């Protein structure tokens, strides 16, 4: 095991599917309104009035992840903190409401203090202000896969020396009510805190495990897919003859069908899970996978436009804390 490898030492989730990462109910649909979220309990009574729902979810999930990791940021200079966020519909309803205002009463009736949030990167930007994330901050928006991609982009940035630690997550808020995809809306946020294995060990933190992501584009790329998959499956170190469990989040689209076929040919039969509108469901699956001790497994996602991502989740084989030298968390 490489001491530079990133391990997950904190998990934060706020979601209508639950807030305990190990006990998330990821079957079926979840309520697409805001009633499940207690902003005051999560964030306090004030300071976030102008922040749109996806931003509040992200702030709450980040607080939870940092607390769960044992408040490690005090030991990390601000310039060494990096953050990558995946989101698709985080501000879709806000944009729609702003557009309704502009085309009707005019832009002068927009709330000036809310106006910055027309730019989707302000969701993570607001979190950076609260947690002193000055190393770097990325917002990725690739359809469906962007949450998983934060783990790849974040690990790459840390490996390039751009920060020492990583906050990686996904946040979504419901699509506008009149959008044809509204019923598939997602709401909530999940954030992971990651640090090098050696750093976690040095401060006595018990990792949940690791996750590694690869991306590719289907259906154009037979060889790339095969290479990426083979590398991850090999890294999982599953003994010969055992099956690596996999969960694939996709529509019955050509890319999803092709990805399922590739997995099958590599001896990885995938459970196919219907997707939500955005990036959150795949991220919740890998979050729950990390929080539950067990064997390595794959979480895969394909978007109907062809982008695919695959994350190898390697949780602890047995429940934490596992070693007597670990300090209580």
Partner 1 sequence: MNAESTTVDLEQLRAAIAEVLELDPAEVTDDAHFVRDLGGDSLLALEMQIVLETQYGVRLTEDDLGEATSLRGMYELVLKKTAAG
Partner 2 sequence: MTQVLITGAGAVSCLGAGVEAMWQALCAAPGSRPLRAADPGARMPLPLVYRAPVGTGPGGRASRLAVMAAREAVGDAGLDDTDHARSAVVIGTGGGNADHWERPLDPGRTDTTPFPVASAVAAALGAGGGATCVSNACSAGGFALAIAVDMIRSGEADVVLAGGAEAYSRVGLGCFNRMRAVDPHACRPFHRDRAGTILGEGAAVLVLESAGHARRRGAARHYATLAGSGWSCDAHHLTAPGPDGAQIRRAMTAALTDAGAPADAVGCVVPHGTGTRLNDVVESEALGAVFGERLARLPLYSLKALTGHTAGAAGALGVLTAALILDRRTVPPNVPLGAEQDAQCPVSLPQEVPVPLVGRHAMANAFAFGGNNVSLVLEGRTP
Q: Which of residues 38-97 bind partner 1 (CB under 8 A)?
A: 46-47, 49-50
Q: Which is nearer to partner 1, 114 or 304 (CB)?
A: 114
Distance from C-alpha of 281 to C-alpha of 301, rounded to nearest angstrom = 9
Structure tokens at 246: 């996999």
* Largest CA-CA distance found in the chain, in angstroms, rounded: 66
Tell me if 65 sits within 8 A of 11, measured CB to CB: yes
- Phi/psi-derived region of residue 226, left when phi > 0, alpha when psi is between -120 and 50, beta in every other case: alpha
Residue 46 contact partner, candidates partner 2, partner 1, none, CB within 5 to 8 A by sort of partner: partner 1
Distance from C-alpha of 48 to C-alpha of 191, rounded to nearest angstrom = 19
Distance from C-alpha of 214 to C-alpha of 153, rounded to nearest angstrom = 10
The total of other beta-carbon atoms located within 10 Å of residue 103's CB is: 9
Q: Which of 25, 38, 109, 271 binds partner 1 (CB under 8 A)?
A: 109
Distance from C-alpha of 282 to C-alpha of 34, rounded to nearest angstrom = 21
Q: How far is the CB of 123 from partner 1 (least distance, A)?
A: 17
Residue 47 contact partner, candidates partner 2, partner 1, none, CB within 5 to 8 A by sort of partner: partner 1
Does 113 sit near partner 1 (CB under 8 A)? yes
Q: How far is the CB of 308 from partner 2 (least distance, A)?
A: 8
In three-state secondary structure terms, 227 is helix
Q: How far is the CB of 36 from partner 1 (least distance, A)?
A: 23
Q: How far is the CB of 39 from partner 1 (least distance, A)?
A: 13
- Phi/psi-derived region of residue 74, left when phi > 0, alpha when psi is between -120 and 50, beta in every other case: alpha
Residue 303 contact partner, candidates partner 2, partner 1, none, CB within 5 to 8 A by sort of partner: partner 2
Radius of gyration of the chain (CA): 19
Residue 266 contact partner, candidates partner 2, partner 1, none, CB within 5 to 8 A by sort of partner: none
Residue with the two structure tokens 């968390």: 329
Q: Which is nearer to partner 2, 64 or 212 (CB)?
A: 212
| Count of residues touching partner 1 (by CB under 8 A) | 10
Residue 49 contact partner, candidates partner 2, partner 1, none, CB within 5 to 8 A by sort of partner: partner 1
Residue 44 contact partner, candidates partner 2, partner 1, none, CB within 5 to 8 A by sort of partner: none
Judge residue 304's burial from the number of C-beta atoms within 10 Å of its C-beta, 0-12 exposed, 13-18 middle, 19 or more buried. middle
Q: Which is nearer to partner 2, 219 or 269 (CB)?
A: 219
Q: Which is nearer to partner 2, 97 or 238 (CB)?
A: 97
Q: Which is nearer to partner 2, 61 or 316 (CB)?
A: 61
Q: Which is nearer to partner 2, 206 or 210 (CB)?
A: 210
Q: Which is nearer to partner 2, 18 or 172 (CB)?
A: 172
Burial 161-186 (b: 16+ CB within 10 A, else e): ebbbbbbbbbbbbbbbeebeebebbb
Q: How far is the CB of 248 from partner 2 (least distance, A)?
A: 17
Give the interface segment with partner 1, choosing from 5-13, 25-33, 104-112, 292-300 (CB under 8 A): 104-112
Q: How far is the CB of 323 from partner 2 (least distance, A)?
A: 32
Q: Which is nearer to partner 1, 94 or 260 (CB)?
A: 94
Phi, psi of 183, deg, nearest 5:
-65, -25
Distance from C-alpha of 147 to C-alpha of 152, rounded to nearest angstrom = 10
Residue 92 contact partner, candidates partner 2, partner 1, none, CB within 5 to 8 A by sort of partner: partner 2
Q: What angle do CA 172, 259, 166 make, to 5 degrees?
A: 40
Angle between helix 222-235 and helix 254-265 axes, rounded to 10 deg: 50
**Which residues here bind partner 1, judged by CB under 8 A?**
46-47, 49-50, 109, 111-113, 115-116
């Amino acid at each position: 095991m490489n001491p530079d490898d990133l391990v997950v030492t904190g998990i934060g989730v706020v979601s209508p599917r639950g807030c305990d990462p190990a006990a998330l109910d990821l079957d079926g649909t979840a309520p697409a309104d805001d009633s499940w979220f207690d902003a005051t309990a999560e964030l306090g009574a004030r300071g976030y009035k102008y922040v749109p729902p996806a931003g509040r979810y992200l702030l709450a999930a980040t607080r939870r992840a940092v607390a769960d990791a044992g408040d490690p940021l005090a030991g990390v200079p601000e310039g060494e903190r990096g953050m990558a966020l995946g989101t698709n519909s985080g501000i879709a309803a806000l944009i729609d409401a702003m557009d309704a205002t502009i085309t009707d009463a005019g832009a002068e009736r927009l709330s000036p203090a809310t106006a910055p949030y027309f730019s989707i990167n302000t969701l993570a930007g607001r979190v950076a202000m609260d947690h002193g994330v000055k190393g770097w901050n990325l917002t990725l928006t690739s359809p469906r896969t962007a949450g998983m991609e934060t783990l790849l982009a974040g690990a790459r940035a840390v490996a390039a020396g751009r920060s020492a630690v990583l906050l990686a997550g996904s946040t979504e808020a419901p699509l506008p009510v009149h959008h044809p995809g509204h019923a598939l809306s997602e709401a909530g946020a999940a954030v992971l805190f990651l640090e090098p294995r050696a750093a976690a060990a040095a401060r006595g933190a018990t990792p949940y495990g690791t996750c590694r992501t690869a991306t590719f584009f289907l259906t154009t790329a037979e060889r790339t897919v095969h290479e990426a998959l083979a590398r991850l499956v090999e890294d999982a170190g599953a003994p010969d003859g055992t099956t690596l469990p996999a969960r694939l989040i996709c529509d019955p689209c050509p890319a999803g069908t092709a990805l399922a076929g590739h997995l099958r040919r590599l001896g990885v039969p995938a459970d196919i899970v219907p997707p939500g509108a955005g990036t959150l469901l795949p991220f919740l699956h890998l979050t729950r996978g990390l929080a539950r001790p067990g064997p390595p497994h794959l979480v895969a996602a394909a978007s109907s436009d062809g982008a695919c991502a695959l994350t190898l989740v390697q949780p602890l084989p047995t429940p934490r804390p596992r070693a007597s030298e670990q300090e209580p968390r």
